[in-house]
A and B are shown apart, each in its own frame.
Chain A
Amino acid sequence: MSRALRRAARHKGMWVGGVIVLVWVVLALLAVPLTGWSPGTVDPDLALDYQSLPPSWLRSVELPPDVEPRRFLAGTDDGGNDVLGRVLYGARYSLVIGFVAVAISVALGVPLGLVSGYYGGRLDGLIMRCLDVVMAFPTILLAIGIVTVLGQSLTNLMIAVGLVGVPGVARQLRAQVLVVRELEYVQAARALGAGHLRVLGLHVLPNCLAPIIVLATLGTATAILETAGLGFVGLGPEPGTPEWGLMISESRNLISRAPWAVITPGAAIVLLVLGFNLVGDGLRDVLDPRGRA
Chain B
Amino acid sequence: MTRPGEPPTVNIEDMIAAATAPRPPILEVRDLEMHFVKTKGIVFEREVGRIRAVNGVSFDLRPGETLGLVGESGCGKSTTARAVLQLHRPTAGQVLFEGRDLCATSGEELRKVRRHLQMIFQDPYASLDPRWTVESIIAEPLLNFGRPSRKELREKVRDLMITVGLDPDFASRYPHEFSGGQRQRIGIARALALEPRVVFCDEPVSALDVSIQAQIINLLEDLQAKLNLAFVFIAHNVAVVRHLSHRVAIMYLGRIVETADRDEIYENTRHPYSRALLSAVPIPDPKLERTRKRTLLEGNLPSPADVRTGCDFASRCPLRPQVDHDGRCERERPKLLPIAGKLSHLVACHFHEKQG
B-binding residues in A (CB < 8 A): 122, 125, 129, 183-185, 187-195, 198, 203, 206-207
Contacts and interface: CB of A to CB of B under 8 A. Distances in A.
Interface residues of B, number: 29
Contacts of B131: 206-207
Contacts of A203: 129
B141 A193 contact: yes
A134 B126 CA distance: 36
A185 B126 contact: yes
A183 B132 CA distance: 15
A188 B121 contact: yes
Contact of A192 (B42, B123, B140): B140
Contacts of B117: 191
Contacts of A206: 131
Interface in B95-140: 111-112, 114-115, 117-119, 121-123, 126-131, 140
B144 interface: yes
A193 B117 CA distance: 10
B48 interface: no
Given A125-B42, A187-B82, A188-B119, A193 B127 contact: no
A187 B78 CA distance: 12
Contacts of A193: 111-112, 114-115, 141, 144-145, 194
Contacts of A188: 119, 121, 127-128, 187, 190
Contacts of A122: 42
Contacts of A189: 129, 140
Contact of B118 (A125, A185, A192, A207): A192
B311 interface: no
A187 B87 contact: yes
B85 interface: yes
A194 B126 contact: no
Give the most central of B87, B112, B122: most A CB within 10 Å: B87
Contact of A191 (B87, B128, B145): B87
Interface string B128-164: 1111000000001100110000000000000000000
Contacts of B127: 184-185, 187-188
B119 A191 contact: yes
B144 A194 contact: yes
Contacts of B119: 188, 191
B190 A192 contact: yes
Contacts of B118: 191-192
Contacts of A183: 126
27 contacts: A125-B42, A183-B126, A184-B122, A184-B123, A184-B126, A184-B127, A185-B127, A185-B128, A187-B87, A187-B127, A188-B128, A189-B140, A190-B87, A191-B85, A191-B87, A191-B114, A191-B118, A191-B119, A192-B140, A192-B141, A192-B191, A192-B193, A193-B111, A193-B115, A194-B144, A207-B130, A207-B131
Contacts of B130: 207
A125 B118 CA distance: 33
Nearest to A198: B144
A209 to B, nearest CB: 10
A185 B129 contact: yes
Given A183-B126, A191-B87, 17 more contacts: A122-B42, A125-B42, A184-B126, A187-B82, A187-B127, A188-B119, A188-B127, A188-B187, A190-B87, A191-B117, A192-B141, A193-B111, A193-B115, A194-B144, A195-B111, A207-B129, A207-B131
The 3 closest A-B pairs by CB, nearest first: A184-B127, A193-B144, A192-B141
Give the most central of A191, A198, A207: most B CB within 10 Å: A191
Contacts of A187: 82, 87, 121, 127
Contacts of B114: 191, 193
A203 B111 CA distance: 18
Contacts of B82: 187
Nearest to B41: A125
A198 B111 CA distance: 13
A30 B190 CA distance: 54
Contacts of A125: 42
Nearest to A186: B129
Nearest to A125: B42
Nearest to A209: B131
A181 to B, nearest CB: 12
